[in-house]
Amino acid sequence: MADEGIKASEDALIAADVIGEAARQRVKVQYGTDGVGIDVSAGNPFPVAQTPLLGSGVTVARKVAAATTNATNVKASAAAVYGWELTNKSAEVRAVKLYNKASAPAPATDNALIVVSLVLPKESRFGLFLPVPLAGFTNGLGFAITKLPADTDNTAVTAEDVFLNLFYV
């Protein structure tokens, strides 16, 4: 149907479409420079630039937890984390901590270097892939897998409690 308008005030008109006998507020996606609005449609799609995720691709660090804190150095220089996939097979909470460190972290004392702490509910699995990398790994990238979520927890997990895939560059 033809586009109409709904008078909002003496000076303002809200765009509307008449559907059947009712005028409905017109909300359509537009793009363009300042002062120009080009409607998006099947014949005029929204312009999207596909940007590759860094030229070299993402590396995956895999870890099946051993009966330790699994303190691991992933990269000894600046890193960017693009996501993770985590599985906790235990009937108790577990934690994965990511550190800004160029060597293997010491979970009991390196709490000031934790960039993110991921608490895994019992018997759970979740993943996240970030379109923009997680910042904060200027010195390097390390992780630890501990039994408790406290920043200074140094309690070893049971072997094969946690499975980790960490996506980074």
Per-residue pLDDT of 110-130, as tens digits, reads 999 999 999 999 999 999 998
Q: Residue 106 carries which DSSP code?
A: -
Q: What is the pLDDT of residues 142-162, one digit of tens each?
A: 999 999 999 999 999 999 999
29 band by pLDDT with thresholds 50, 70 and 90:
confident
Domains and CATH numbers, the chain: 3-39 (no CATH), 59-168 (2.60.120)
pLDDT at 136 over 70: yes
pLDDT at 26 over 80: no
pLDDT at 106 over 90: yes
- Phi-psi region for residue 11, left (φ > 0), alpha (ψ -120 to 50) or beta? alpha
pLDDT at 1 over 60: no
Q: What is the mean pLDDT of residues 85-108?
A: 97
C-alpha torsion angle, residues 26, 32, 37, 38 (rounded to 10): -80
